[in-house]
Amino acid sequence: MSKINLIDSFQEFKEFKNIDRPTVISVLEEVFRSMIRKKFNTDENCDVIVNPDNGDLEIWRTRTVMEDGFSEDDDLEIELSEVRKYDQDIEVGEDFIEQITLESFGRRAVLAARQTLVAKVLELEKDEVFKKYKDRIGEIITGEVYQVWKKETLIIDDEGSELLMPKTEQIPADYFKKGDTVRAVILAVDMVNATPKIIISRIAPTFLQRLFEMEVPEIFDGLITVKNIVREPGERAKVAVESYDDRIDPVGACVGMKGSRIHGIVRELKNENIDVINYTNNTSLYIQRALSPAKVTSIKLDEETKRAAVYLKPEQVSLAIGRGGHNIKLAGKLTGYEIDVYREAGYEDEDVDIEEFSDEIDSWIIDELKSIGCDTAKSVLALSTDELVKRTDLEEETIKEVLNILKSEFE
């Protein structure tokens, strides 16, 4: 028969990048054995040979030569008179081996085999993609934005696999357009309707950990360990690190000379503030470090309820809480303690500069209050709501919100 190059016959093979050649050859052989069984009722006396180098196919069929009139199964046996048409020297009891051409199966059978083959290889490829990415959960992957929808973004990686990044897994400040290069971590891999669904994330703590491993060789080499990471994506993150080598400063190594190492991570995370702190088994010290940049005066722990009462000087309270309460919330997540902030004894009646509330009150409102001589919390609280409305350009609702914030400082 004329040689048939399967790679040329079945052009789809060129697209199957995730399947190794031996597996494809195995599938090919099984498809053609199925064709043989349909035509000859059995394939046990047939050899299917597929050349893995060039895709050439050979099918050889073996039948036992029988005396005329004694053949009981034409699929396994052949009469002598029939064989003598092809080989005059063959005798009864010998094996007659013939080559079967692909054309002999008929055009319809070949087309059906082709469709079966493509379907099987596609199914196999999907399984391979699923297994491959299932083993890569937690790894950083880079891809190109292909389509942006309202609730998710479709990204194509270097191997042509489709990755989905839901809006809920994007940093609030993320903005993507087609063609952009995106880095994220593989979060989950599932099979949906026999198709692998690969979910990636930029808000997972694992993403930040992998970025540190890429930027800090000491973490990658295992000299520094990341003990815990907590994040408010796009706002703030706290990373607890520990070194097993006394000669290495884990915080300094992570930050780098003049912040060289951490700056790249901050840019990747859309200017997310990252606090890197030394991990310790001393709970009080750990909480104190977790509340950075605030300076804690003293801490009282309740081990049973996992609560911590933290005392600070008045000017440190707003730093401990942080804008939107992110700092104290993350410190609690990092340490596993519910943290309550109190003003240090003896400072209850001390006034607080109004600039200390810049995390909670907009700067233009603070400037408006300062313009009428109110530069401290108590100087504002000394005036009534009506008087503040008359003397400033602020609305009554805004003033009430400001007064509530200032009052809570002294409660």
The structural domains of the chain, ordered by start, are 6-132 (3.30.1480), 136-201 (2.40.50.140), 354-409 (1.10.150)
Cβ(95)–Cβ(63) under 8 Å? yes
Q: What is the pLDDT of residue 13?
A: 52
Q: What is the pLDDT of residue 411?
A: 65
Cβ(78)–Cβ(67) under 8 Å? no
- What count of Cα atoms within 13 Å lies in the side-chain half-sphere of residue 246? 0
pLDDT above 70 as % of the chain: 92
Cβ(6)–Cβ(104) under 8 Å? no
Helix, strand, coil percentages in the chain from 3-state DSSP, rounded to 5: 40, 25, 35
Which residues lie across from 342 on neighbouring strands?
A: 311
Q: What is the pLDDT of residue 170?
A: 95
Q: Return contacts of 381-389, CB within 8 angstroms, 24+ apart.
A: 381/406, 381/407, 381/410
Q: Between these two residues, 319 and 271, which has the higher pLDDT value?
A: 271
pLDDT at 210 over 90: yes
pLDDT in tens, 319-377: 888 877 889 999 999 999 999 888 776 555 567 778 778 778 888 888 888 888 888 88
Range among 63-67, 107-111, 224-228, 388-392 with highest mean pLDDT value: 224-228
pLDDT above 90 as % of the chain: 37
Range among 30-44, 109-123, 336-350 with highest mean pLDDT value: 30-44
Under the banding of pLDDT at 50, 70 and 90, the label for residue 100 is confident
Q: Between these two residues, 52 and 116, which has the higher pLDDT value?
A: 116
pLDDT at 76 over 80: yes
Q: Between these two residues, 160 and 356, which has the higher pLDDT value?
A: 160
- Residue 196, preceding bond cis, omega within 30 degrees? no
Residue with tokens 């859309």: 270
Q: What mean pLDDT comes out for the span 276-296?
A: 92
Sequential DSSP letters for 176-207: --TT-EEEEEEEEEEEETTEEEEEEESSSHHH
Q: What mean pLDDT comes out for the span 192-206?
A: 92
pLDDT at 3 over 70: no
Q: What is the pLDDT of residue 55?
A: 58
Of 59, 124, 135, nearest in space to 97 by CA: 59
pLDDT at 10 over 50: no
Q: What mean pLDDT comes out for the span 394-406?
A: 89
Under the banding of pLDDT at 50, 70 and 90, the label for residue 278 is very high
Under the banding of pLDDT at 50, 70 and 90, the label for residue 63 is confident
Cβ(7)–Cβ(13) under 8 Å? yes
pLDDT at 2 over 50: no
Cβ(252)–Cβ(289) under 8 Å? no
